[in-house]
Amino acid sequence: MIMWDQFVSDLYLNFVKDDRWHYLTRGLRTTLIVTLFAALLGVILGFLVAIIRNAHENTGKLRFLNGLCNLYLTVIRGTPAVVQLMIIYFVIFGSVRIDKTITAIIAFGINSGAYQAEIFRSGISSIPRGQFEAGRSLGFSYRQTMVHIIMPQALRVVVPTLCNEYITLLKETSVAGYIALEDLTKGGDIIRSRTYSAFMPLIAVALIYLILVLVLTRLVSLLERRLARGFR
Amino acid sequence: MKKLVSVTLVLCMMLSLAACGSSSNVEGTAKKGVLVMATNAEFPPYEYHEGDDIVGIDAEIAAAIAQRLGCELKIEDIAFDSIIPAVVSGKADIGLAGMTVTEDRKKSVDFSDSYASSSQVVIVKEDSGITGLGDLGADSVVGVQTGTTGDIYCSDDDSIGTVERYNKGMEAVQALTQGKLDAVVIDSEPAKVFVSENPGLVILDESYTDEQYAAAIRKDNAALLNNVNQALAELKADGTLDAIVAKYISAE
């Protein structure tokens, strides 16, 4: 009974008093916005990079762009996201007052783009070479072969992997506090710095992430089942 | 008679162990003969890294206290907002981190007698045109270090626009020099260091709040609290405390 009273008073102190739960809801909103737009930016970047790399592999053209893409992949995948985030905030936007949500979207978008590029490329490579040759021998151009034959099949293959990348991205945004952006994790940290209790804020933050990931995972498995239809 | 003997024995045991805070830690987290101090060594001149060591006013005061208690000092450098949890959970015996005594913090830990006083000051850019607290309007952006009293007071201050909470005071100052913030509210001593190292910054004459620094000690550890207070009183009396402060803070 004493433990229960303690639990209730801890709950009150950490979430109800001074409307502290607002830190979590506002943080959750920021986390979702950053994740969503970073994922979108990442899709665009990743798709472009994959197309360029694949075109170079198959046609030998676009050498310069291909080199640029390789550099991008090496640098972004070779450095931690939190360091990239701080470089973008404190170095690249060194002397401008820029909205931190946008900074985070740019940083995580660029970061996620590198991983998504490789996912797209692996999807394209997974389609048997015979499909490509068949398209070309039927008189399709390289572009037509890609658009009408390879891409529709490749996209079906990459969707589950892409969604896993979004789940990773969602959790990766938890370092946004490094640039004083109040995301979900930082929201929990602020509560922790007010109440000096570690348990409640951290467990609450962890639970919220877990629920988000569970929902996303569920959606992915539904999508996978839907995509598998007609291919059996 | 037997009872009296046993009570005396128990008391003796408690007192002999109490010196380094290991006694009342039934869980035995604190090691015997070692005073574990939790701090956040990003707060010059109170505590900061110099080479491999953590130095500063708090580090030296803690060393002097440990010496008087006859135990060895071990400094743990952790995040500022983890210091009180570390003291509460017994991972550290005392928290000494330029920490201001506040009513909220008193609910979690006991505080020793104050060993230094400080104030929260406002750093602005020289050319910002901000000359007083009144110039920080509803559209102002103020940077603070998460969990510091500057953060807590600014968050409750409706006249300030947005409060941006950085993990380190240094990062808030960096954002200020880059024009991302209008002002930074931080403790006066580190503020002086930051301003002297970053040309173009000034501290407003008018301070934001005035406050007292003290050591945080676990609530049920009255023995350690008494010992620390006694040591502090002795250090005050023999001038050691003033000498330590004077060593790091040059009188202006």
Instruction: Identify the pLDDT of residue B51.
Output: 83
ipTM above 0.85, yes or no: no
Which chain B residue is nearest to residue A197, measuring alpha carbons?
A: B85
Tell me the residue ranges of DSSP E strands in chain B.
34-39, 42-43, 47-50, 53-55, 72-77, 94-95, 110-111, 116-125, 141-145, 162-166, 183-187, 201-203, 209-213, 216-217
Q: Which listed CATH number (3.40.190.10, 3.40.50.300, 3.10.20.740, 3.40.140.10) goes with B118-211?
A: 3.40.190.10
Q: Assess contact for B40 and B47: CB atoms under 8 A.
A: yes
d(CA B76, CA B84): 13
Residues of B within 8 A of A186 (CB-CB) are: 146, 165
Chain-chain contact of A194 with B80 (C-beta, under 8 angstroms): no
CATH number at residue A49: 1.10.3720.10
Is A199 within 8 Å of chain B by CB?
no
Specify the domain boundaries for CATH 3.40.190.10 within chain B: 2-115+214-248, 118-211
Q: Is the pLDDT of residue B252 over 70?
A: no
d(CA B134, CA B206): 10
- Cα A162 to Cα A44, A112, A124, A159, distances in angstroms: 13, 10, 13, 5
Average pLDDT over all residues of chain B: 85
Instruction: Identify the pLDDT of residue B5.
Output: 66
Per-residue tokens: A115: 């991983």
Name which of A196, A199, A202 to mutate to probe chain B: the one with the most chain B Cβ atoms within 10 A of its Cβ: A196
d(CA B71, CA B65): 9
Average pLDDT over residues A82-95: 92
d(CA A204, CA B95): 26
What confidence tens digit (pLDDT) does each residue in A95-130 have?
A: 888 889 999 999 999 999 999 999 999 999 999 989
Instruction: Identify the pLDDT of residue A194.
Output: 81
Residues of A within 8 A of B109 (CB-CB) are: 196
Provide the number of structural domains found in chain A: 1
Q: Is the pLDDT of residue A145 over 80?
A: yes
Structure letter (DSSP) for residue B140: -
B124: β partners? B202
Average pLDDT over residues B143-167: 90
Confidence of residue B251 (pLDDT cuts 50, 70, 90): low
B210: β partners? B119
Average pLDDT over residues A194-203: 86
Instruction: Identify the pLDDT of residue A40.
Output: 96
Per-residue tokens: A99: 């909205």
Is B147 within 8 Å of chain A by CB?
yes
Q: Which helix (DSSP H) or strand (DSSP E) does residue A73 occupy?
A: helix A63-78
Residue-range definition of the domain harbouring residue A174: 2-231
Per-residue tokens: B116: 């230094």
Is A27 within 8 Å of chain B by CB?
no
Instruction: Identify the pLDDT of residue B25.
Output: 40
Q: Is the pLDDT of residue B24 over 50?
A: no
**Protein fold of B2-115+214-248:** D-Maltodextrin-Binding Protein; domain 2 (3.40.190)
User: In this structure, which long-range contacts are made by residues B131-136, counting pairs with CB atoms below 8 Å and at least 24 apart in sequence?
Assistant: B131/B204, B132/B204, B132/B206, B133/B204, B133/B206, B133/B208, B136/B160, B136/B161, B136/B182, B136/B183
